[in-house]
Structure 1
Amino acid sequence: MILLRRTDSEDPDFQAMVRLLDAELAIRDGADHSFYSQFNKIDKIHHAVVCYENDEPIGCGAIKAFSNEAMEVKRMYVSPAGRNMGTASRILGELEGWAAEMGYSKCVLETGKRQPEAIALYEKNGYHRTPNYGQYVGVENSVCFEKTLIA
């Protein structure tokens, strides 16, 4: 049975999933990992989701305020055991719903070109590419996306 639970960055299961994400990204990003990790701190994240299958955490994601109208999707991860089951789309949908409930009209995010699965996930879920924003302007490996939420 799949269960999504809203929580925050203090949650031990969320923290455990983020450690797995960081370990995977360290391999994928190589020398670029330290640059990206500075933007991926999880302290003070108030809106996180953990996905469970049979009471075991298999994925996570979070949102944080980006602007008055947008939330930024952060720390999306699904463990190998939870992949190819629609888990990431479920987590993303829950985060988008949460953002809409709080009155936000869109979500933005950044992912890396070395993460083709993530790019495919976001495109499949209605995100469109935008110019790189903020700290990602001019970063060759970054791809930024945006999606308008339906209230």
Structure 2
Amino acid sequence: MKNDIRISRTTSENTDFISLVAVLDESLWERYPELKWDYWGNNILEINPNVVVIYIDNKAVACGCFKKKNENTIEIKRMFVLPEARGKGFSQNILRELELLGVELGFSFSVLETLYKQTEAIGMYEKCGYAIVDNYEPYVGLKNSICMRKQI
């Protein structure tokens, strides 16, 4: 039986996106309980028109968004795939759609931050053309952060 897979451009007010981000936050705090207070302020869900959600048979299984970092750079945020949907390339699909949206809006670069234990994510980002760079604000001095950058 073939699943119905749909990629949706939406906003941060989408209830499926909000639900996925809640699961993401819970998983991060379980994996990194010692870092919660260092990073909590960076994980506030702002009003954002640049959100992508992937659905399988009308169930939201993956998400991501970006915010404007500066005049020519977007910052990828809130990338997440539910555990039961991993290994199917959805994170790459989300990232590709976000980069395409960024280009459509006139941006030339994409940056992101992830944590050092996120080895699967780091490998996926490198596979998609991202390179590790010096930490940018607000991650300067946070030794657990890995910052990456790509021309889009």
TM range (shorter): over 0.9
Q: Which runs of 5+ in 1 are unaligned?
A: none
Deviation, 1:103, is 0.4
Query: Post-superposition shift, 1:34?
Result: 2.4
Query: Does residue 1:23 correspond to 2:26, yes or no?
Result: yes
Distance 1:37 1:8 in 2: 21
TM-score normalised according to structure 2 size? 0.96
Unaligned segments of structure 2, at least 5 residues: none
- Report the more deviating stretch, 31-40 or 20-29: 31-40
Q: Give the whole-Å Cα distance in 2 for the aligned partners of 1:5 and 1:34.
A: 32
SS of match in other structure, 1:21: helix
Hey, what does 1:75 align to over in structure 2?
78
Aligned pair count reads: 149
Which secondary structure state, in structure 1, belongs to the residue aligned with residue 138 of structure 2?
A: helix
| Equivalent of residue 50 in structure 1, options 50, 53, 75 | 53
What's the TM-score, normalizing by structure 1? Answer: 0.96
Match of 2:5 among 2, 10, 28: 2
- Matched letter for residue 70 of structure 2: S
Q: How far does residue 140 in structure 1 lie from its aligned partner after superposition?
A: 0.6
2:101 paired residue among 98, 103, 107? 98
1:123 counterpart SS class: helix
Moved over 4 A (4+): none
What's the C-alpha RMSD, in Å, of the aligned pairs? 0.8
